[in-house]
Amino acid sequence: MCISVWKMHLSCTNSTYRLGSRRLNKIKQNTGNSTNTRRFQTPIPAPGPARAPPHGAAPPHRSRPVKMSSAEPGRFFCTAGRGLEPFLAREVRARLGATEVDCVSGKVFFRAAAGPGELRKLRSGERLFLLLKKHSPLPVSRSRGKMLHEIKSLVIGEPRYWLDVISVWRKLHGREGETDDVSQENTLALKRKSEEETNTTTKRQKMEQEVGRAIGITLVKQCGWRADLRDPDLEIFVHLNDVQSVVGIPLFRLPLANREYIKTAGLRSTVAWAMASLAEISAGALVLDPMCGLGTILLEAAKEWPEACYWGADISDLQLEGADGNIRSAGLMDKIELLKASVKALPLPSESFNSVISDIPFGKKFKTTNDAQLLPDILQEMERVLRVGGTLVLLLSQELHRCVNSLTKCAGGDSAEASADSDSGAAPAQAPSVDGNSSSLAQGGGESVLSRHFRSLVPEGVYAVSLGKTDAFIHKYRKVSATGNWELSGPGLKRT
C-alpha cells in the first residue's frame, strides 16, 4: 500500500499558500494520478508493532488522539458546495443516522457507523474523507522552520496512531471496489486545476517542496515506509486556515458528485438533488420539470425517489435528445417521460402534478432584459398545472432572484433573508429548516405583490447556492388554493 501527501492549504491572514508534495530524491510531475499534482508516496505495510521515534524527534503537536476502532462509529467529513452545507447536514442525519454533526463553510463533520456502500450513497456532498484530526488553527510564525515543525507535528502525531488509522481505512476501503471512469466534465475540471497550479510562484513552490519533504521523511523514519511514486493507494488531505486545521484521508478515488449514470452533464448533480429534496416527493406523486434541459433534476429525483412518476418538457430538440440519452444511460425509461413543449403553453391538464421543479436557464438562451417579462408567463403556467398543496421549486439566477425580491417586497418593508450558514441563528420566519438547525429563508409579513399576482403561491424558502463561477438561488413555494383564470394586464397579470 502507498501513501501520498496530497493537497495542503495554509492560510495566514489574507494570504493563501497551496502546498503540494515532494518525492524524497527529486521532484517529479505525476501525470498518472487523478489530480495531476506532485505527490509523496510511501507503501504502507500491514498494521504491526510501531517503531519507536528516533532520538530527538519532535513531540506530537497536540495531545494524543483517541484511538480509532472499527467497532465504533467512524469520524468523517464531507466537502460541499457553498450553500449546500445544510442540505448535506440533513442528509447525513437522515441517511446515515449521523451524530455530532458540525457544519463549517465548505465542510460537514459527522460521526456515523456506516460502511462504504452507505457512505457512497450521499447525494449532496462532493468528496468524503475519513477524519484524522480536527484542531484549532496553527500558530502563525514568521519563522519558516517553526511553521514546518508545527505542520509536521500536526500531520504526523504518533506512529501508533497512524497504524490504527490505516487499519480502519483498510476495513472501510476494502469492502467495495471502485470504478475509475472519469466523465468529460471532470476531466476538464482537473485540467483547469492543473493549469492553475502550474502558475504558482517560486516561493510557493519552494514552500510546498519543504513541507512535502519534511512530512515524507518523518513518515519514513517513524513508520518504516518506503517511497514509491508510481501507484499511490492513499492520499492525505491537509487543510489549514485561520479557523481550524483538518487532516483526512479520501475514502473514494472519485468525488461523490460523480454520477456514473449521467452521460451528458448539465446542472451540477448536487444542486439538482438539493432542489428535488425540497419538493417533498412521495410514492405515487407526479413530478414535472417544464424546462428539463438534459434532465439532471429528473434523474436525481428518480434515483432517490423511484416510486414517483416524472415528466420533462423542453422546447429544444437538442436538449431533449441529450435528456433521452441520459435517461437511457440511467435505465430510467419507465420512470421519466419526455415531451416537446413550451413552458408558456404546456399541453397538460390543470392541477395535475404534485411537484414542479425547474432550473430556469435565463441568461443563456434569452436576453437578460427579457427575463422579468418572461417570468410571469412561466410562473402562471407552472401554477396552473400544480395541484393544491403541491410544491414549486425553482433555481433562479442572481438577476431573476433580484426580480422576484422586488416583486415580493411587502407594503410594510422588505423581506428578511437569513444566512445559509448552519452555525447562524434561526431565521425569524416560521418555516421548516433544512437541517434542523438553521435555514435560509426569505419571507415577510403582509400581502406581497407576488401574492397579489399569484394568490395561490406562498413562498416557503430561499437558499443561496454556488454554481461554481456564479451564484444562484433556490426558491420554494407551496400552492395553497385553486388557480383562477389569468390574463395579461400591463406589466403584470390580472385575475378575471
Domain check: are 322 and 463 in the same one?
A: yes
**Alpha helices, DSSP H, located in 12-58:** none
CA angle 303, 309, 312 (to 5 degrees): 85
Angle at 223 between CA 221 and CA 227, to 5 degrees: 70
Most confidently modeled of 68-77, 254-263, 268-277? 268-277
In which region does residue 36 sit, left (phi positive, over 0), alpha (psi from -120 to 50) or beta (all else)?
left
Q: What is the mean pLDDT of the chain?
A: 71
Q: What is the mean pLDDT of residues 355-379?
A: 73
For 177, other C-beta atoms within 10 Å of its C-beta total 6
What is the full DSSP assignment across 120-134? TT-SS-S-EEEEEEE
Burial track 264-293 (b if 16+ CB lie within 10 A, e otherwise): bbbbbbbbbbbbbbbbbbeeebbbbbbbbb
Q: Are residues 243 and 274 in the same domain?
A: no
Strand partners, 74: 112
pLDDT tier, 83 (very low <50, low <70, confident <90, very high otherwise): very high
Q: What is the CATH number of the domain that holds 463?
A: 3.40.50.150
Q: Which residue has the higher pLDDT, 365 or 85?
A: 85
Domains identified in the chain, total number: 2
For the entire predicted model, the pTM comes to 0.71
Is 289 found in the same domain as 234? Answer: no
| Nearby residues of 416 by Cβ (< 8 Å), 6 or more positions away | 427, 428, 429, 441, 442, 443, 444
Q: pLDDT value at position 195?
A: 38
Report strand pairing: 286-289 vs 309-314: parallel
**Cβ–Cβ contacts within 10 Å for residue 302, how many?**
25
Confidence class of residue 232 from pLDDT cuts 50, 70 and 90?
low
CA separation for the pair 184, 266 (Å, rounded)? 12
Burial class (CB in 10 A: 0-12, 13-18, 19+), 71: exposed
Model confidence at 168, in pLDDT bands (50, 70, 90)? Answer: confident
Express each pLDDT in 181-207 by its tens digit.
Answer: 333 333 323 233 333 344 445 666 666
Same domain membership, residue 308 and residue 217: no
Q: Which of 222, 250, 278 is the last residue of a domain?
A: 250
Q: What percent of the chain has pLDDT over 90?
A: 39
pLDDT of 273 strictly over 60: yes
Is 443 a domain residue?
no
Quote helix, strand, coil % in the chain, to nearest 5: 30, 25, 45
243 with 312, same domain: the answer is: no
In a domain, 50, yes or no: yes
Q: Are 291 and 313 in contact (CB under 8 A)?
A: yes
Please check whether residue 140 lies inside any domain of the structure.
Answer: yes
| Domain of 372, in residue numbers | 269-408+448-495
